[in-house]
Amino acid sequence: MYLKRKIDAFLFEWKNNDNRKPLIVKGPRQVGKTESIRKFAAENYKNVIEINFVTSEKFKKITSDGYDADSVIKNISLIEPSFKFIPNETLIFFDEIQAYSEIATSLKFFSIDGRFDIICSGSLLGINYKNIESNSVGYKTDYTMYSLDFEEFLWAKGYSDDVISDMLNSMLQLKPFSELQHSVFSSLFLDYCVLGGMPDVVKTYIKNKTFEGTLDLQRQLISDYQEDIRKYAEGLDKARILNVFNSIPSQLAKENKKFQLSKVEKGARFKDYRGCIEWLQDAGMIHTCYCLNSPDLPLKGNYDPDKYKIYFCDTGLFVALLDDEAQEDLRANKNLSVYKGALYESIVGEALVKSGYGLYYYKRDDSTLEQDFFVRTADNLIPIEVKSTNNRTKSLLTLVSNEKYSDIEYGIKLCAGNIGFSNNVYTFPYYCTFLLKRYLKAK
């Protein structure tokens, strides 16, 4: 079973760009990079050469005579003479490049040569990506792939683009969803919250039409991530990285979700853990949400790098790390219990990242003013509040009504309720989060 992904359209556009450069598809493990590239390759090229640097280590010598296209092709042919290199009809797919980052140096020369299309893929685990960046700057295109977002989940469930267009139109017209629509989308979104978007997990859910087997898959993925930390985190304290990774669920369950190292290790110092958190972020395992110094534009450069929240790259993995009693509540009873706020905040943060946003929040030290997320348009800063209930949003109302915050004209509340508007606050259901960027662009 192949699940339609957003990268499919991107790859098609890349192929049809006469000025295309070698492509590097980045992202955490098991999000579907290799499967999507293989499908695209089979449908668009007469000849495909796939080299996996993890399963076929013999290919790690292909740059020994130089990085130019002819030298690399010659050495590939020596190792595997059955490979055929047909100019303008061949895709060369270098997979798992984290195991042989030197191949990135050849991308410049393949780009200049122009006879063959190149796609590279890697999980970034253990990669010194700054080295790859410097060796191929100006001669490559980057694409970051994530686990399925809610739109892709709806595709997997059989919903068409017309349904999604109707959802966006309802938001733009401030037209509440019908009772049936709201019930169906809310139920699907709750399933998505529990499952997350890892392709194997979603496929199992689609095939079985139940949650059966999904928790085992999620826990295996967590074990794989933990093993990757032990295997690839060279030069860093692997135990500390694991401590950070394993502490995220309990940190999110706190009322104050700011990440606190004291909850990871007694007496822990920030400088001892900075590299650990950066490593998890570079590996694609976590998303970091930074605290703004003030709710003003610009966002970049206007935050405290020492104050942040941490979310998992996939909320399903967060859910899978909860205790067995919580699993029963979530999967059997659809009861989110004490984790309700953490779960919805995590899934919204994940959706914003998958839409291309950075994550920022605000908490004023000398008052109760606090805002979950901020995004921006060309002219406005937009505060976003995630409510586990449909009650009043005191902080959000303060931000949109106070002339002191001149960059803010209106805000957005995400909750279990329907579409609405009041006091310059737009209310949307959680399941509309993936459409926010399109909504703000069309508004």
**What pLDDT score does 268 carry?**
76
Which residues in 133-154 are b (16+ Cβ under 10 Å) and which e?
eebbeebbbebbbbbbbbbbbb
pLDDT band (50, 70, 90) for residue 123? confident
Pairing of strands 90-95, 117-122: parallel
Q: What secondary structure does DSSP assign to 214-280, as a single string?
A: HHHHHHHHHHHHHHHHHHH-TTS-HHHHHHHHHHHHHHHHSSS-S--GGGTSTT--HHHHHHHHHHH
Closest CA to 72 of 96, 107, 29, 98: 107
For residues 272 and 255, what is the distance between their CA atoms, to the nearest angstrom? 25
What tens digit of pLDDT does each residue of 252-273 get?
877 777 888 877 887 777 777 7
User: Look-up: residue for tokens 């700057």?
Assistant: 137
DSSP state letter for 16 = T
For residues 309 and 380, what is the distance between their CA atoms, to the nearest angstrom? 24
What tens digit of pLDDT does each residue of 21-49 get?
999 999 988 999 999 999 999 999 999 99
For residues 321 and 19, what is the distance between their CA atoms, to the nearest angstrom? 45
- Taking the alpha carbons of 391, 395, 401, 407 in that order, is the dihedral positive or negative? negative
CB atoms within 10 A of CB 288: 18
Helical pair 340-354 and 238-253, crossing angle rounded to 10 deg: 120
CB atoms within 10 A of CB 401: 14
Q: What share of the chain is helix, strand, coil (3-state, %, to 5)?
A: 50, 15, 35
pTM of the model: 0.93
pLDDT band (50, 70, 90) for residue 70? very high
Higher model confidence: residue 379 or residue 135? 379
pLDDT band (50, 70, 90) for residue 393? confident
